[in-house]
Structure 1
Amino acid sequence: MEIISKVSGALTSLGASVLIPIFIFIICMVFGAKLKKSLMAGLTFGAAYIGLNLVINLMITTVNPMVTALADNLGVKKDILDVGWAVGSAVAYSTKCGVLIILVSLGVNILMLATKTTKTLNVDIWNFWNHAFTASVVYIVTGNLIIGLAAGAVHAAFCLVMADRTAERVQKFYKIPGVSIPQGWVVTSIPIINGVNWVLDRIPIIKDIEWDEKHIQEKWGIFGSPLVLGTTLGLILGCVAGYWKDIPTLLNSAISIGAVMMIIPKFIALFMESLTVVSDAAKKFMDKHFKGREFYVGLDSAILIGHPVTVASAIILIPIVLVVAMILPGNRVLPFGDLASLAYFVALVPCLSKGNLFRSIISGIVIMSIVLLICSSFGASMTTMAVDAGYSLPKGAVDITALSAGNWLTWIFYKIAGIFA
């Protein structure tokens, strides 16, 4: 267990910006790409990932003060504080189940590839923390390591299946070849998005609203460009947060958000450059050795959030989610740590809704309402894990949570485990 813990800790300590490029390089070499191409593919992916995270961090540091001001202005007071995905992931990996989950999830992936029950090779190892959280919650409830790991393994398998089911649409919509998205939270949004679309398709007038990227650019004029749209949304959000009292801060925040919307697609283009090498090498390898068997590289949902509709809907949803948190019956969670990262929660909505901004907002409201209720239902589970791992609770917080841990699959396992505990 100690050796496994050290190996697991070493891998997760590298971070996604190092770990995934290494795997990209190894995959390219295994598939027969030349050393130079393999090395450049890995390094380009790493550079793109670091650049993307710098831009996302700019948005987070810009938006977080707005979130605080909005929460104060709205008077949102709850006893479970959302401390964000970074704490959630660290806590998830801190239990005995968390230590073992990387080996378990990799084992599930290899087994499913060997039995042809998936086409996805998931290299997004850092985000195995979602599987680890499921395993850890079940372990805390049952006290049984095997049951906890089994829950994590099922979560891993579910992610691969859902990644396969959406791979072609993801590749076509985002124009990124040979990839799928098995990220542990985002795949659980797929049934919710499909359900929302099913309902909206049956409502007169509403079903005909088409605010896609082309419509926005053509009908909204200059406000349809990502830079101007982002700046405008930043101005509106800043005013709602009370920034109109401080014009320099308001303008700086608005321009920063506009810059984020303009710059993100540039880094997505670098991802495409890197992944094209992987895709071409994989295709040749499969054609030669496996008679054309299709193969996907499973990646973080971060590569999807560059779409203008995704970023726009995320910004619009910030004040909406705070209002929802205030009025939603049964909610105990104060959104904060993950609120500036709402783009991740709606990352797949544009793809599954034909790039429709209106549907992205509606789906986002439904998704975040479910997330808030699930995190409320978890109650003290994450607090228990955090305290055991040595985390100090923020002042005034009775319990802590992370919105990014609030997926319904984990919740189902949590409830089942409670019955048999």
Structure 2
Amino acid sequence: MLEFINHIFQTFGATVVVPIMIFIVALCLRVSIKTAMMSAFYAGVGLTGFSWIISAFTPIVTKIIKQMVNNTGIHLPIVDIGWQAGSLATFGSTVGLSFFVFGLILELVLFAIGWTKIFMPSNLWNNFGFMVWGTLAYYVTHNFWLSLGLSFFMLLYTLALAETQADRWSNYFGVKNASVCSLHNMEQAVPAILLDPLWNLLGFNKVKMTPETFKTKLGVFGEPTTLGAILGVIIGVLGNLKSLNTLSAWGQILSFAIALSAVMTIFPLVTDVFSKAFSPLAEEIDNKRSKDEVATDGDAEELAIKDKKRWFLAVDDGVGYGEPATIIAGIILIPIMVLIAFILPGNKTLPVVDLISIPFMIESIVAITRGNILKVICNGVIWFSLGLYASSWLGSVYTGAISHYGVAIPAGIVLITSFNLMARPLNALIFAAWISKNPVWIGLTIIVYLVFVVLLRTRREQIWLYLKKMSEKNAGFNGSTEKIM
């Protein structure tokens, strides 16, 4: 059965399987067949568009980054070859496939009994994030049940984090009753919440470093398209420092600038198409509220926070990728993280291919800080720097597991990683506790999770109101109501 499911998924891929799931979910929500069908088509078109853009841009940015490495003469032994290798390997492991089937069942049960307010099956594809860690654990421990248990535990705590930031994500990105819920891009909500008082103490909340400010003060130079070109020139120059006196170098620099400008311009358009897959479903969730919960625009947000029956549809991270603050902060973080990788003591990881995934990785931070780009960058620098250490520690394990399950290692590379999947300090700590096989450490992770869930269940309204007030302290940008497309 597991092999059959693997064959089906590998044959049709995410661009077909995800739209089918969206169609089924839509019908379950009693959306009209026409609307359900269009939602499914928009999901497939959006995923295909994302795939085309990233597939075309990845080789270009990878070449520039490698040239930056060669210019410095610094060579790090663990090379990031992208998340795709990890996702493919998980479908070749027994633990991964087992979770793909039984994890889906658990997600349905957890939602049905009210354990979580997040409907995860609508984001079926991103289950590979849980499968990766179970696969790595099995490679290390050879204990099937412990490894599968780890995948289930990571699902549980991810759902709790997703629910914590769901109101902010939905409000900021403008998709009612929806939230991202992928393991590899969810833990960033932790530093975004914990470090915010520090940034406010330093006055970062008063700094109007937002897309709107860029556009207002810089005019045409503040547009995402122009900013992409400017950042492209800067990154291109860094990749050609030793050959700036040649025509070929400037040809590459300007070509990269146009390519990055195209990504900054086209991605929001594809994102708009992709979001249409979820908007009708999220609206249907909203329509199912009782009439006495309908409010005027002024107090609708607070009433939504107080609504105990409210639940959220898990959507793909691609919905928020093209939002201006998200993509601008993500692109700025690319050269910053490469530089940090070079100078960070003890780091062995070179982020390369997954650098283009940084906008995915910062969505929760953007939502919680209301698009404050300065805060997003500072949070990203701290958390992803810790992530480089996590990725360095996991390098040999990840390489062994990925190659064991049939993914070829590129020639000339000794160790591999995925910056998006493995540069995860919190996930790495949980992984370390579980592979230790020590009941005390495993029990501690479970106790912390249970305390957090009890707090979320009994104080959810207060938590959401706190995060709302926290985000409102940031000057100059109101997210979904002021997006610059």
Equivalent residue number for residue 262 of structure 1? 265
**Secondary structure of the corresponding residue to residue 277 of structure 2:** helix
Deviations 1:178-231 (A, max 9, x none): 31111111111110222332321222x445322012211112222111111111
Of 384, 391, 408, the match for 2:425: 408
Alignment CA distance shift 1:9-1:385 (3 Å): farther
Structure 2: state its 5+ residue gaps.
Answer: 292-306, 439-485
Residue aligned with 1:188, SS: coil
Letter in 2 for 1:178: N
Q: Could you tell me whether the CA contact under 8 Å between 1:84 and 1:403 is conserved in 2? A: yes
The aligned counterpart of 1:77 is: 75
2:303 matches 1:305 = no
1:29-48 aligned at under 5 Å gives the runs 29-48=27-46
Normalised by the length of structure 2, the TM-score is 0.80
Alpha-carbon offset, residue 151 of structure 1: 0.7
Q: Distance in 2 between matches of 1:297 and 1:26?
A: 13
TM-score scaled by structure 1? Answer: 0.92
Q: Check the 8 A contact 2:161/2:186 in 1, yes or no.
A: yes
Matched, 1:249 2:258: no
d(CA) in 2 for partners of 1:338, 1:165: 26
Contact 1:304–1:348 (CA under 8 A) maintained in structure 2: no
Whether 1:278 aligns to 2:295 is no
Aligned to 2:201: 202
In structure 2, what is the Cα distance between the partners aligned to 1:80 and 1:371?
13
| Cα deviations by residue, 1:251-304 (Å, 9 ceiling, x for unpaired) | 22212211221222222222333322212333445759xx99323221121211
1:77-113 CA deviation, whole Å, 9 max, x = no partner? 1121212100111123322211111123212211211
Q: Say if 2:165 and 2:364, in contact at 8 Å, map to a contact too.
A: no
Q: How many residues align?
A: 416
**2-structure distance, mates of 1:21, 1:292:** 29
Partner residue of 1:8 out of 3, 6, 12 = 6
Of 358, 369, 372, 2:385 maps to 369
AA partner of residue 272 (structure 1): S
* 2:440 aligned with 1:419: no
> Which one-letter code corresponds to 2:437 in the other structure?
F
Take 1:269 and 1:79, find their aligned partners in 2: how far apart are those partners?
39
Matches within 5 A, 1:46-85: 46-85=44-83
Structure 1 unmatched runs, 5+: none
What do residues 281-338 of structure 1 show as CA deviations (whole Å, max 9, x unaligned)?
A: 33445759xx993232211212111112222222222222122111212211122221
- CA, structure 1 residues 93+367, in 2 after alignment: closer, same or farther (shift >3 Å)? farther
Alpha-carbon spacing, 1:51–1:393, altered in 2? closer, same or farther (3 Å): closer
The correspondence of residues 311-390 of structure 1 with structure 2, limited to 5 A, is 311-390=327-406
Work out which of the residue numbers 223, 226, 234 in structure 1 matches 2:224. Answer: 226
Q: Equivalent residue of 2:276, what SS?
A: helix
Corresponding residue number in structure 2 for 1:90? 88
Stretch of structure 1 that moved more, 222-231 or 43-52: 43-52
Q: CA deviation at 1:135?
A: 1.0
Q: Distance in 2 between matches of 1:240 and 1:268?
A: 30
Report the Cα distance in structure 2 between the residues aligned to 1:312 and 1:72, rounded to whole angstroms.
Answer: 26
Aligned-CA RMSD value:
2.2
SS state of the match for residue 197, structure 2? helix
**Structure 1 stretch displaced more, 139-148 or 179-188:** 139-148
Aligned to 2:146: 147
Q: Which residue of 2 aligns with 1:180?
A: 179
Distance in structure 2 (CA, Å) of the matches to 1:293 and 1:315: 38
C-alpha separation in 2, matches of 1:395 and 1:17: 30
The equivalent of 2:190 in structure 1 is: 191
- Structure 2 contact 205–372 (Cα < 8 Å) conserved: no
Structure 1 residues 114 and 334 mapped into 2: Cα distance closer, same or farther (>3 Å)? same
Task: Give the superposition deviation at 1:13.
Answer: 4.3
Q: In 2 relative to 1, CA 52–391 (structure 1 residues): closer, same or farther, beyond 3 Å?
A: closer
TM-superposition CA deviations, 1:100-133 (whole Å, max 9, x none):
1112321221121122121221222221111011
How far does residue 12 in structure 1 lie from its aligned partner after superposition? 4.9
How far did residue 355 of structure 1 move?
0.7
* CA pair 55-18 structure 1, distance change in 2 beyond 3 A: same
Distance in 2 between residues matched to 1:273 and 1:338, nearest whole Å: 26
- The answer to whether the 8 A contact 2:233-2:257 is kept is yes
CA contact (8 A) 1:104 1:149 kept: no
What SS is found at the alignment partner of 2:363?
coil
Q: CA deviation at 1:49?
A: 2.3
Q: 1: distance between equivalents of 2:59 and 2:427?
A: 29
SS for the counterpart of 1:201 is helix
Distance 2:97 2:276 in 1: 34
Q: Is the 8 A contact 1:108 1:156 kept in 2?
A: no
Distance in 1, Cα, partners of 2:362 & 2:282: 26
In the alignment, the residues of structure 2 paired with residue 393 and residue 124 of structure 1 have an alpha-carbon distance, to the nearest angstrom, of 29
Residue pair 1:12, 1:126 contacting (<8 A) in 2 also: no
Q: Aligned partners of 1:339, 1:258: CA distance in 2, in Å? A: 16
